[in-house]
């Protein structure tokens, strides 16, 4: 077990370009596990397509995949996917001179195949303390999907509606067809998302973000 500070972690990480994924979680360094296409690659790709489509249709939001985040002095994770508001629209992150995202993005997704214990314990604590508003964990081996929402400093489950659809409370229009996601049915996942992107709620959100943007 290796422990270090965020600054020391980044110094060491940048000196090892052959290593593709290192994370500092609660002061402990973790090396990313091997990635299987069935347990991680395909689910990861579908999540990226889903979130990337939403961000492309929602000006003022930003999406990134597999990027290092300076969360705090003990946590420098590399989430599988993130969605956040631009800083000039109320988002709490910034990009530093080295190109790292600093602060807590509004939404984080982790694909948990070999890392379930870390994702559901140490990362959960770190994300909760930092104020990540929505934390999604896809436990691919168990075929389970947890969508947690931060309420009063605790994560509460975001439950599906009668149609088994999950809706983001902070990003109107971000809707997930849960059974289709678990089945890797990308066409159905995107069809449901596109329908939600055509609702008045999403249009009102985009209008709100546009009105909050920098004035010319």
Please indicate, yes or no, if residue 77 is contained in any of the structural domains: yes
Q: Which domain holds residue 191?
A: 36-212
Please indicate, yes or no, if residue 23 is contained in any of the structural domains: no
**Tell me: the pLDDT tens digits for 91-141?**
999 999 999 999 999 999 999 886 666 778 889 999 999 999 999 999 999
Kindly state the average pLDDT of the residues 10-20.
75
Block residue for tokens 């996942």: 189
Give 10-14 contacts, CB < 8 A, sequence gap 24+.
10/68, 10/70, 10/76, 10/100, 13/68, 13/76
Q: For the domain that residue 194 is a member of, what is the CATH number?
A: 3.90.1570.10
Q: How many domains are contained in the chain?
A: 1
Q: Which helix (H) or strand (E) holds 178?
A: helix 178-182
- Closest-CA residue to 37 (of 188, 187, 184): 184
182 and 188 Cβ atoms separated by less than 8 Å: no
**Tell me: the pLDDT tens digits for 19-66?**
768 788 888 887 776 678 888 899 999 999 999 999 999 999 999 999
Please indicate, yes or no, if residue 22 is contained in any of the structural domains: no
**Tell me: the pLDDT tens digits for 147-172?**
999 999 999 999 999 999 999 999 99
Please indicate, yes or no, if residue 10 is contained in any of the structural domains: no
Please indicate, yes or no, if residue 26 is contained in any of the structural domains: no
Q: How far apart are CA 60 and CA 73, in angstroms?
A: 28
């Amino acid at each position: 077990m290796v422990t270090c500070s965020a600054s020391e972690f980044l110094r060491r990480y940048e000196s090892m370009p052959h290593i593709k994924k290192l994370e500092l979680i609660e002061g402990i360094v973790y090396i990313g596990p091997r990635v299987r296409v069935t347990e991680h690659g395909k689910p990861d790709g579908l999540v990226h397509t889903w979130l990337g489509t939403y961000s492309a249709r929602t000006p003022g939001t930003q999406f990134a995949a597999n990027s290092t985040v300076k969360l705090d002095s003990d946590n420098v994770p590399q989430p599988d996917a993130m969605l956040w508001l631009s800083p000039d629209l109320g988002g709490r992150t910034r990009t530093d001179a080295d190109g790292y995202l600093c602060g807590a993005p509004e939404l984080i997704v982790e694909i948990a195949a070999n890392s379930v214990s870390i994702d559901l314990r140490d990362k959960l604590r770190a994300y909760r303390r930092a104020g990540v508003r929505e934390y999604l964990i896809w436990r691919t081996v168990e075929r389970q999907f947890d969508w947690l929402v931060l309420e009063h400093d605790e994560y509460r489950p975001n439950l599906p509606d009668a149609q088994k659809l999950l809706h983001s409370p902070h990003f109107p229009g971000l809707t997930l067809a849960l059974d289709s996601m678990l089945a890797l049915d990308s066409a159905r996942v995107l069809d449901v998302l596109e329908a939600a992107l055509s609702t008045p709620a999403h249009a009102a959100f985009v209008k709100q973000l546009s009105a909050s943007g920098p004035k010319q």
